[in-house]
Amino acid sequence: MATSSEQAFVNAINAAELARQNAKSSAFTTYGFVKANYAAYVTALIAADVAYINAITAAATANGISPSAAGLSGPVPHGSWAKLNNG
Q: pLDDT tens digits, residue range 34-76? A: 999 999 999 999 999 899 999 999 999 999 998 787 776 555 5
Say if 76 falls within a structural domain: no
User: What's the rounded Cα separation, in Å, for the pair 62 and 41?
Assistant: 31
Q: What percent of the chain shows pLDDT beyond 70?
A: 82
Q: Residue 80 above 50 pLDDT?
A: no
Tell me: pLDDT of 87 over 80: no
Is residue 86, in this structure, part of any structural domain at all?
no
Domain that holds residue 16: 4-67
User: For the whole prediction, is pTM greater than 0.85?
Assistant: no
**Number of domains comprising the chain:** 1
Residue 78 falls inside a structural domain: no
